[in-house]
Structure 1
Amino acid sequence: MSDRDGPVRPVAPAIARYAGLTGAVLLSVAGWLGGALPGAPANSSLLDIWRAPHGPAVLGCWLAGTVLLVGAWWSLRWGPPSTRWAYLTAGLWVLPLLAAPPMGSRDVYSYACQGWSWVHGVDPYRVGVAAAGCPWTDTVSPIWRDTPAPYGPVFVLLAGLAVLLGGGLTGTIVLLRVAAVAGVLLAALCLPGLARVVGVPTRRAAWLALACPLVGVHLVAGTHNDAVGLGLLLFGLLVLVRRPGNPWALLVAGVLLGLAVAVKAFAVVVLPFAALAAVRGRYTVRALLRAAGWLAGGVAAALLVTSLATGLGLGWVGGLAHSGESQQWTSPPTAVGFVINYVGALFGREPQAVPVVRVVALAVLAVLLVVLWWRAWTALRGLGNVRQRVVRLAAARPRVALAGAGLALGATVLLAPVFHPWYAIWPLAVLAVATVSLARTVWFVAPCAVAAVLTLPDGASLARFTKAPGAILMTALVVAVMVRAVRTGLARHARERRGHPAPPPSARAG
């Protein structure tokens, strides 16, 4: 893979490579000493971890490893020497984590038990794994033992196959990790193609998306199903931008995107923007409806076939309602609800604001998704009237659609009732291939760096130990973002009234 992306900023790539490798090794050591092992207690506190055998070594290795890995990734955020260098380094960092036990989360045990439930004739969308009688229930985090599965039928099928072929808990975990690694590899194969179509340096896109510590720690070592869903999503988008307007390509892309939704439901927010990427030629309502129809046919076929083939029907849609039972300040709406409760407590009231704020946030999300789509649609229609070189126009069209999809994923992740660090990988991967400007990568790279330090090796979340200060800081950040957004909107309105309109969305998408 060659690059023609210009000079790289003066950093020390070799130092970054081996600092990150050292960090990955330390994280693997922390995983073996105190990770989310089957017999380890769930939901330990910091004090419990410290008092446990090898406790100081676990926390020391985890802290040092996280700092080294995040620091190495951050130091080359402007781009490594080459695409090949980025891939080799990201792969080098993954190797120690590939050999580590589950860490950073105990979700993989939930996957195993949900697969066991389905294999043994129990609907995982109706009962939790404890009621299903899964023999590995003790390994599952207590909060999820009585909760129906919130994942789509594709992943339940994969988990069931892992149970059938694994022959036991260890074999099942190994096969689930194989599936996660396959998802990461699929994403890695798609990234250069997407970046080239849009005109983004492939070395930078590959580095931001694959060398991110969240990938190695949570997708590989943590074995999260987001790896499979993300790989399918990027594959579908690649088919779209390579063959827009081709009915058969649109059907294939729709099937791939439908499979991604049937793994993790919030991938559905990408579909309206995928329809924009599917249009070839002029952006007219008729062209959009034609492309969207073929795409929707593929999505519907994938969802229908997988729902019927697994015998689960559409029960997985109802399972999504239980995914918000966890309450942590890492979700901005939840944090705002906490702060309102704190203020109410000062006046002797208990407003129970978290559910209300979450509903308001979902309403805001719905409006925001419509606004993002409309801005992308307006920008794309405007491109047809702009006289510019054909090559630039060809790159601008998918860039606008992919940028909109990345922003939609980011908004969904931030306004959802629950936020887990590995959720940030979805918008990161899409924005990495859609953002041309170097300066504009920081705003979505920095939160991923922060998210990488939010968990402990045994799966406990640091948010549990910082509830009040974390909620206050997150709420202050939400207020600051809202104030800035209002000021930016007023300034844009003032420029337009003076006859100096702001740049069109198409110009800002990169």
Structure 2
Amino acid sequence: MAASGARYVGLAGAVLLAVAGHLGGALPDAPLGVTPASIWRAPDGPATLTCWLVGTALLVGAWWSLRDGAPSTGWAYVTAGLWALPLLVAPPMGSRDVYSYACQGWTYAHGVDPYAVGVAAAGCPWVDTVAPIWRDTAAPYGPVFVLLAAFAVSLGGGLTGTLVMLRVIAVAGLLLAAFCLPGLARAVGVPTRRAAWLALAGPLVGVHLIAGAHNDAVMLGLLLCGLLVAIRRPGWPAALLLAGALLGLAVTVKATAVVVVPFAVLAGVRRPYTVRALVRDGGWLAGGLVGAVLVTSVLSGLGFGWVGGLTHSGDSEQWTSPPTAVGFVVDYAGALAGRDPQAVPVTRAVALLLLVGVLVVLWWRSWRHLRRLNEIACPPAERLRVVLHGAALALVATVVLSPVFHPWYATWPLALLALTALRTTWYALPAAVAAFLALPDGTNLARFTKAPGALAMTALLLTMLVLVLRRARA
């Protein structure tokens, strides 16, 4: 598809998605607990689903057609902005999480600890808009995002104003990410036009980070900014303190960002790469991070209650999480044998242990690679690509091995893979598929395909395992 054609095909898709949102998006008064069949039987159901599916297909197709790079960086930014315009004025889509954000902000703004009680017990006046599964659980986000949500409530006043402010905050996070991407791309020696296109123009960004106003946008903006500061001035104490503080803010928005921190430490080490240099430069960055976490936790008055809230993030069980899918399949096999193994908690626990091991291996490989570079003349771009690619793979492992997966989680590694991966298909394809998993009202199709989805995901994992073992042997 020609670039000009892709631009306007994607714009048509974004317009159709916005129309679907107005017809049957995650509106405050939309019925909860619906099924695809009930959506279809609604007065605007056929039009809603048709606009949603066709719009998603057009937007995914246009983005996919230029996955090897837009004509120029400016063209990529203009097109991404053009596609975002219809979604900026659309109602919340693809998820009802923004209503949880609003109620958590209301809870804190009215003097109640959102880490101690759920939004229902806190008396949030908008609790009926929150998905039932999250009404009685503590907030799983860090104090910085709770402060941002309370700020949105204070400025917005009512529910509509609060939703608008939360979307403004999400867009600000994306603008920060857009500002940092060119500097990161030049530092690692990849085409900026490709990195910007893959990271910012994808359908998951428009639907979930802009229209859905997910806090992942703020996390990504702070994460990329922290990495950019670290690589611009490696070994400079002031720069590393600032980089650590930015990364600490990212962690206190969403804890997922913590897996990137060890790689940010490597990015901030000044050559030659020795253990002494690692401790010296890494200490400055760690100091900035710890300081940011302590200051925000103490000054907000929330302390570290948000750490306990993280345990509720896995309350939802869906086959889109590979460990959960494997647990489902084990349970199905046990049922055939007349047993009830309750394997999902076990497979999830094993996956988290495996994740820790994978993260350690990825970091150690990056460090060993940097140590080898002491002995040869090497451009800085090679060093940085090694480190940032390790961080990208750490985010991939986190997404794959986490107990729950939602489509917008794919945006975490997408930004760093766009900066470092030489081939685009292996990570752009899953992101394209994930765009079809949610309906405009927030209904996740994985809920209605539990058995076949779990079997398919398990088969895919086994196939990938065989391929990896064969490659390792070769």
**Length-normalised TM-score, structure 2:** 0.99
2:384 matched to which residue of 1?
398
What is residue 427 of structure 1 aligned with on the other side?
413
SS of residue in 1 equivalent to 2:314? coil
Structure 2: state its 5+ residue gaps: none
Query: Does residue 1:202 correspond to 2:203, yes or no?
Result: no
Structure 1: distance between partners of 2:424 and 2:236: 32
Partner secondary structure for residue 151 of structure 1: coil
* Deviation (angstroms), 1:226: 0.4
CA distance in 2, matches of 1:41, 1:377: 52
Task: Measure the CA separation in 2 of the matches of 1:411 and 1:85.
Answer: 32
Q: Distance in 2 between matches of 1:415 and 1:79?
A: 30
Unmatched tracts of structure 1, length 5 or more: 1-10, 492-510
Matches within 5 A, 1:301-450: 301-388=291-378, 393-435=379-421, 437=422, 440-450=423-433
1:331 shift after superposition:
0.3
1:224 and 2:207 correspond: no
| Alignment-derived partner of residue 297 in structure 1 | 287
- Distance (whole Å) between structure 2 residues aligned to residue 455 and residue 91 of structure 1: 23
In the TM superposition, what is the alpha-carbon distance from 1:386 to its structure 2 partner?
Answer: 2.1
What do the CA deviations read for 1:289-322 (whole angstroms, capped 9, x no partner)?
1111000100011101110111000000000011
Runs of 4+ in 1 over 3 A off after TM superposition: none
Contact 1:230 1:260 in 2 (8 A): yes
1:485 aligns with 2:465: no
- Secondary structure in structure 1 of the residue aligned to 2:339: coil
Q: Distance in 1 between matches of 2:195 and 2:99?
A: 32
AA at the equivalent of 2:454 = A
Q: Secondary structure at the match of 1:311?
A: coil
Answering whether residue 135 of structure 2 is matched by residue 145 of structure 1, we say yes
The equivalent of 2:85 in structure 1 is 95
Q: How does 1:278-289 map to 2 (within 5 A)?
A: 278-289=268-279
Deviations 1:321-342 (A, max 9, x none): 1110000000000000001111
Spell out the pairing of 1:17-56 with structure 2 (5 A cutoff).
17-56=7-46
Counterpart of 1:319 in structure 2: which amino acid? Answer: G
Partner of 2:64: 74
How far apart are the structure 2 equivalents of 1:387 and 1:288? 20
2:2 equivalent to 1:12: yes
Which residue, 255, 262, 273 being the options, matches 2:245?
255
Partner SS state of residue 385, structure 1: coil
The whole-number CA distance in structure 1 between the counterparts of 2:267 and 2:79 is 32
Tell me the secondary structure at the aligned position of residue 420 of structure 2: coil
Alignment partners' CA distance in 2, 1:253 and 1:426: 19
Q: Deviations over 1:425-460 (max 9, x none)?
A: 01000111122x2xx221111110111110000000
Instruction: Report how far residue 487 of structure 1 moved.
Output: 1.4
Give the aligned residue type for 1:104: G
CA contact (8 A) 1:197 1:398 kept: yes
Q: Distance in 2 between matches of 1:180 and 1:43?
A: 27
Tell me how far 1:490 sits from its aligned partner: 1.6
Partner of 2:448: 465
Q: Residue type matched to 1:471 in 2?
A: A
Q: CA deviation at 1:245?
A: 0.8
- Between the aligned partners of 2:116 and 2:468, the Cα distance in structure 1 is 42
Deviation at 1:189, TM superposition (A): 0.5
Q: Does the 8 A contact of 1:42 with 1:459 survive in 2?
A: no
Encode CA deviations 1:61-112: one digit per residue, 9 max, x unaligned: 0000000000100010011111111011000000000010001000000000
Residue type at the aligned position of 1:394: P
Percent sequence identity is 72
Aligned mates of 1:352, 1:255 — CA distance in 2: 42
Shift of 1:43: 2.9
8 Å contact 1:199–1:395 — kept in the other structure? yes
Distance 2:437 2:104 in 1: 26
Q: What pairs with 1:60-71 in structure 2 (closer than 5 Å)?
A: 60-71=50-61
**Helix, strand or coil for the counterpart of 1:323?**
helix
Deviation at 1:32, TM superposition (A): 0.2
Aligned equivalents of 2:169 and 2:227: distance in 1?
20
User: What letter is aligned with 2:430?
Assistant: P
In the TM superposition, residue 387 of structure 1 has moved relative to its aligned partner by: 3.6
Confirm or deny: 8 A CA contact 1:43 1:459 kept in the other structure.
Answer: no
Correspondence for 2:182 among 192, 202, 220: 192
Q: Which amino acid aligns with 1:147?
A: T
Shift of residue 488 of structure 1?
1.5
